[in-house]
Structure 1
Amino acid sequence: MVGEQGGRDAFIIECFDNLSKKGLFRKHMDNIQRIVKEIFIGIVHVFDKSSLTLKTAIDTVFPNNNLSMTQVRGQGYDGAINMSGAFNSLKSLILNENSSTHYIHCFAHQLQLVVVAVAKKHDDVDEFFEQLALVVTIVCGSCKRKDMIRKMQKERVAAEIEVVVVLKYFKEEGSTLSNRNQAKDMQIQEFTDRLSKVDTELMENMTALTPCDSFSIFDKTKLLKLSEIYKNDFDNSERAQLNGQLDIYYHSLLHDERFFNLKGIADLSRMLVETGKHLSFPLVYRLLKLALVLPVATATVEPCFLAVKFLKTDLRNRICDDFMNGALICSVENEALENVKIENVITRFRKMKDRRGEL
C-alpha cells in the first residue's frame, strides 16, 4: 500500500467483533508528517456475521468516506473462518476484487495460539501444569494456606505460572539439551504452520528493508520479489528501474552516519524524509510504505472498542449507529479534534436548520 501514488491515498481494513457491530479502521501514510497512522472510520451494524454481509457493509462504508477498494493494500482481522477462510470468506471476497489486499493474521493472536499449542504438546510443560493443578487444589482447600500464598508470593506466583515464562524456562534451562531444543523447535514449527505461503514470502522479503546493524540483512533479490508481489503498484519498467536504484540506495545509506543505529523501518522512513532521500529513491520508498502499512497486529485499535463500553451505557442502551459513530470518533480521535474550533461547530449546527433561538 502506498501513501500517495497517482493522486490516490492508501487504506487498510481492520474488522473486529463488538456486540453485533464491525469497526473499520484506515491505516495510511500521512503525506505531511510522513508517519503511519491508524484512523477510526466508524462502526457498522450487521445482522449476521456471514462474509457476504460483512463485504456488503464495507462496500457501503467505503463510498461514504471517499474510499475505494482498488486503493486497499492489506486487510487484517482474527482467524475466524468467516473472516480468513480459504473459500468464500471476507478475505477471499476482497482478494477476488483486488489481488493486492494481502491478509495477515494478527501476529499477537498467532503468538498466543502458538504458545498454547506448544504448551499442550511439550512433555515437560504438560507435566509442569499437572503439578501446578495439584498445588492449586491443595492451596485452595485451606483458607489459611491461601492467605499465606497471597501474602508472601502473590506477585511471584502470578509471574511464574505464565505459559510464556514456562516455555522460555524449558527452552533455555530445560533438564536436558534435547528438551531445550524440543521447546524451541516446536515453537518455530507451530508458528510456521500457521502462516500461509504468501504470508511467509511476504514477511521474509520485507525483512530485507530493515536498517538494523548497518543494513546487515539487506537483500536486493528479496526486495525485487516483494515488488513482484505488489503487481498493481510496480509495472515492468519500474521494476527494472528499481533493480538499479536498490544498488545506489544501499551504498548511499551504508556509509551515511545519519542512518546508523536505526531500530526499524519506521525510523528508516522518517530519516529518509528528513534527509530528502525519499525523493532520490522513490521506488524504494514506495516499497517501504507498503511494508509499513501492512497490518501485522491489531493491538493499537483494540482500545477503540473499550470506548464502546463507556459510551453505550444503560442510559444509552438505545443509541443509534450515527450517534454512536460520532461519539466514538470524538472519543478516539482526540488529536484530530484539537484543531476543531467550537465556533465552527456552532456555525455548522446553526446552518443545518432554523432554530427557535440564536446560539
Structure 2
Amino acid sequence: MEKYLINLKRKAPSSPPSSSQKVLVNLVVFAHQLQLVVVAVAKKHFDVGDFFDMISLLLNVVGASCKRKDAFRENHKKTIEKEVNDGERKTGKGLNQDVSVQRPGMTRWGSHYRTLLRVVECFSSIVEVLKCVQNDGADDSKRRQAYGLLSYVDSFDFVFYLQVMVHLLGVTNSLSLALQNRDQDILNAMSLVASTKRELQKFRDDGWNSLMIKVSSFSKKHGIEKLDMKEDFLDTKRRRKKTGVTNEHHYKVNCLYAILDLQLQEFNDRFNEVNTELLICAASLSPIDSFSQFDHSKLMRLSTFYPSDFSQGECISLDQQLDIYIDNLRNDERFTHLEDLGELARTLVETRKHLSFPLVYRLLKLILILPVATATVERSFSAMKIVKTDRRNRIGDEFLNDCLICFIEKDVFEKVTNEAVMKRFQDMKDRRVLL
C-alpha cells in the first residue's frame, strides 16, 4: 500500500499538532463524514431523532417480507396509472420504473437523502401497506406497529420534519457527491462548501414561507390535517401544561432555526478562518487563465503550513524560486491551457521542469495530496477486507501490496490481456512447459 498511502499519511511531528495540522485533520473528517455529520447533527434535535427512528421502523415494517414488498409495488403501480390517467405524471422511455424503498446506511453517503425522496414519492403506497398490516398482520405486535406508524405519518410533525430534512439533505447532497469524486479539485471543493453554507443561511433567513408551502401541498395531497400556525402550540407529551408559544413560533424557532443553527455551526467549526486561509493560499497555484491567481506572498504563507517539509533555508530558496517559476511557465505555450492542479503537476513532470523548480513542485504535491476527497483512500482500506480474508490472515506486506494494486487499479489492469501476462511470465526465464 506504500504507493497509495505514503502521500496520504504524513509523519507526525514530535511537537504538539499545530493549527494547520488540525486543519488538515478537520478537512479529512469533513470530507469523509459530510453526509453522516448532517444527519448526526440534525439528530441532536430530539424531534428529528424521533423522526429518523420512525423512518427506520417504517422501512422495516414495509419491507419485512416479500409479500409486503409485492403489495408495495402493486400499490405504487396503481398510483402511477392513476396519475398518468389524470395527466399528473409524464410517460416515456425509462420513466415510471418499479421502485423499492432503500434503507439508509451509516456508511453509504447520500443514502438518507435517497430514502427520504423515495418516501415522498411512494407515500401513498407506503400508507396502503401499513393499513394492510394493521388489518391483516400475523400477530398483535405487528398490527400495533402499523397502527402507531399510521398515526405518526398522518401527523403534521411527520410532514414538517420530512420536508425539512429533504431540503437540508438536498442542499448538502451536491457537496457530498462532489467530495466522493475520485479526483476532486480542492479549489472547487472549497467553492462548493462556501455555496452550501450560503444556501443554508439563506434557507434560515428566507425559507420559512417556501417550506410551509411544501408542507401544505404535501398535506393537502395526502389528506393530512394542517395546523393553524396562529393557535397555541400543544405539547403532546405534556398536554396539561401551557407552552405559551404559537405553533408558528415553535416550528419556526424551536425546530427549523435550531436545526439549521446546528448545521451552520458544524460547517463554521470545520471551515473557520484558518481553513479558509489555507485553501485561498492553495488557489494561488492554480494554472487557470495563465496563472492569473498566482500570488507570491500567499504561496510563501502556504509553505509555513508545512514546517516539517520546508526548512528555513528552503523557505528562502522558495522565495527566490517563485518569481523565476511563474515567469518561465507563463512564457511556455505548453502551460497555457491547463485547467487544474493535476494537469499542472503532470505537465511539469512531462517537461522535466519539476527538476528545475523542486521546491515549487514539492509545494504542489503537498496541495494535491491534501485529502479533501478521501473516497479513494477509504475504498483502498475497504479493499483490504476483500483481499485479506480469514484464510489469508498471514499474508505478507509485499504480496498484500501487489494484490491491492491489482484490485484498486482495475481500470488499468482490465486493459492487460492474459496473453501479455503469460508472455511476460514466460520471458522471465526458461520454462519446462510452454504456457
Structure 1 length-normalised TM: 0.51
Matched, 1:342 2:276: no
Post-superposition Cα deviations, 1:131-181, rounded to whole Å, max 9, x if no partner, equal 968986996799476224665565597647266864335948959625599
- Report the equivalent of 2:31: 108
Q: Which residue of 2 aligns with 1:329?
A: 402
* Corresponding residue number in structure 1 for 2:267: 191
- Superposed CA offset, 1:263-287 (max 9, x none): 3211111122334443443322221
Structure 1 portions without partners, runs of 5+: 1-24, 28-37, 40-71, 77-90, 351-356
Counterpart position of 1:168 = 170
Distance 1:109 1:253 in 2: 35
Aligned residue for 1:278, secondary structure, equals coil
Name 2:206's counterpart in structure 1: 177
The Cα of 1:97 is off from its aligned counterpart by: 7.6
Distance 1:270 1:312, change over 3 A: closer
Partner amino acid for 2:116?
I
* 1:293 matches 2:269: no
Moved more, 327-336 or 274-283: 327-336
Q: Match of 1:342, as an amino acid? A: F
- Deviations along 1:187-209, whole A, 9 cap, x unmatched? 55413424688766544432322
Corresponding pairs, count = 266
Larger Rg: 2
- Is it true that 1:226 corresponds to 2:302 in the alignment? yes
| 1:96 alignment partner in structure 2 | 14
Deviation at 1:224, TM superposition (A): 0.6
- Corresponding position of 1:209: 285
Q: In the alignment, residue 14 of structure 2 is paired with which amino acid?
A: N
Aligned to 1:64: none
Separation (CA, whole Å) in 2 of partners of 1:284 and 1:202: 16
Q: CA deviation at 1:312?
A: 5.5
Equivalent residue, structure 2, for 1:267? 343
Q: Distance in 1 between matches of 2:362 and 2:356?
A: 12
8 Å Cα contact 1:115-1:187 kept in structure 2: yes
**More strand, by proportion:** 1
1:104-183 equivalences under 5 Å are 104=25, 105-117=28-40, 119-120=42-43, 143=68, 146-148=72-74, 151=77, 159=114, 161=116, 166-168=168-170, 171=199, 177-178=206-207
- 2:44, 2:377 → 1: CA distance? 32
Change (3 A) 1:323 1:224: closer
Query: What aligned pairs does 1:26-65 form with structure 2 within 5 A after superposition?
Result: 26-27=2-3, 38=4
The Cα shift of 1:223 comes to 1.2
Q: CA RMSD in A?
A: 5.2
Deviation at 1:111, TM superposition (A): 1.6
